[in-house]
Amino acid sequence: MKELLQIGATIFLAYLALAKGVQEKTHQHTDEKGLQDIINQYVKKTITVKFGEVFDCVDINRQPAFHHPLLKNHSLQMKPSSYPAGFHFKSTSAVNTTQSPLTMVACPARTIPILRKTDKAGSIPLLSSTLIDGAEIAGIKTEGDIHGVRVSLNIYEPKLKGNGDFSAQMFNVMHGGGGAVEAIAAGSMVSQNFGDSFARFHILWLEKDQKTCMDFHCPSFVQTSEHIGVGGRITPVSTYKGKQVEVTLLLFQDPRMRNWWLFYDTKPIGYWPGSLFTELRDGNANVAVFGGYVWGPMHDPPEMGSGHFANEREGKAAYARNIKRVNMRNTLADLDFAKTFAYSTKPPCYTVDSYNHNGNGVHVYYGEPGDCHPYPSVR
């Protein structure tokens, strides 16, 4: 079923609606000032990293998540109770590819880094109903029984044109259809609403109360890493016709504790407690999308991926590769190929190419230079 989004939907809800074709409730703001006041009480150290970003090292047991009403009595889990069978990341087979470093912060033990908001940084960007038509997706979509996913994305810094443009390379795992829509997403995002035009690592999710959240703008995500800076810059990034720099991400549900863990390469970042969800708590994810997402005015949309069409392929186009799912037996497994396909909401413009699979998983190229707009979107 394909329905219109309501006024006030967030970029994330627009992403979900395009991926699944559902209508969602309006965004609910968290009292960010009150949350920042809480964070300030438990700062153990403040660190300025490369490029001048400021991170506060916050007591791990006093981080924002533990101020969520549903997590007042939550016990911190420092590592999963078990890992998916096949859990490891092999060195990439591509000679001209390296792993992209997320921002690392030297916080003391038992603290976690939280990026300090500046006057230039905006809050979670909102879309009005008149602009949501500018949102597009290209990549891979899969359906079925999903208890986690793995993906490698080569990270670019697509050019924006102002006007609140947004361009991302990410994965999105969700429950759609019957019951409440719930989702988790993570990846690289470029938006001037964050205060600049750099590729940054962001996490997003939609809870059972239909509240959307990003990073530490509201309390929910429990970070366990003392060093990975959520919201920080991803650098270096890939170069057209040059070195390809990628981020490998793994999301899976702990089968015993029911928490959803996020890993960067082999490093745990943290988790979303299962109690935040209804459908996802019970492992009922049934849709996943991997690839590029953009939003901008229809007459002047932003670039997606490398800013080049998918058919330019290796070294020139953005890709999502090594895609696998975690199945109900807690094993990294192939996607259900009968329910997996290359996907674009605007095929003549936001293109996909070379969709296929091998022993490492499914892969596809995607992208667009940001100057194609004469065709209607496919919803």
Sign of the Cα torsion 119, 121, 126, 130 reads positive
* Counted domains in the chain: 1
Q: Kindly state whether residue 372 falls inside one of the protein's structural domains.
A: no
pTM of the model: 0.89
Average pLDDT of the residues of the chain = 84
Neighbours of 192 (CB within 10 A): 17
- Contact between 257 and 274 (Cβ < 8 Å): yes
Q: Let me know if residue 158 belongs to a domain.
A: yes
Q: Note the pLDDT of residue 297.
A: 65
pLDDT in tens, 235-252: 999 999 999 999 999 999
pLDDT score, position 218: 83
Q: What whole-number distance in Å separates Cα of residue 210 and Cα of residue 350?
A: 29
Q: Parallel, antiparallel, or unpaired: how do β-strands 318-326 and 361-367 relate?
A: antiparallel
Residue 101 has a pLDDT of 85
pLDDT digits (tens, 9 = 90+) for 41-61: 999 999 999 889 999 999 999
Cα(279)–Cα(285) distance, integer angstroms: 7
Question: Which residues are paired to 154 by β-bridges?
Answer: 246
In a domain, 375, yes or no: no
pLDDT at residue 238, as a whole number: 96
HSE on the CB side for 362, CA within 13 Å? 27
Backbone phi, psi, residue 321, to 5°: -145, 180
Residue 370's pLDDT band, with cuts at 50, 70 and 90, is confident
| 262 in any annotated domain | yes
Query: So what's the pLDDT on residue 358?
Result: 93
pLDDT at 34: 72
114-138 pLDDT tens trace: 998 754 444 434 332 223 455 789 9
Residue 162 vs residue 331, higher pLDDT = 331
For residue 62, being part of any structural domain is answered with yes
When pLDDT is averaged across residues 203-222 and rounded to a whole number, the result is 86
pLDDT band at 373 (very low <50, low <70, confident <90, very high): low
Is residue 123 situated within a structural domain? Answer: yes
Say if 43 falls within a structural domain. yes
Residue 209 pLDDT level (bands cut at 50, 70, 90): confident
- Full domain range(s) for residue 144: 11-367
Structure tokens at 82: 């078990």
pLDDT (tens digit, 9 = 90+) per residue, 17-50? 555 554 444 333 446 667 788 889 999 999 999 8
pLDDT of residue 37: 83
Between residues 297 and 106, which one has the greater pLDDT? 106
**What is the C-alpha to C-alpha distance for residues 120 and 353, in angstroms, rounded to an integer?**
38
194 or 79, which is more confident? 79
CB-CB contact of 193 with 12 (8 Å): no
**pLDDT value, residue 374:** 53
> Which of 130-134, 250-254, 268-272, 344-348 is least confident?
130-134
The closest of 330, 332, 325, 230 to 272, measured between CA atoms, is: 230
Classify residue 373: in a domain, yes or no. no
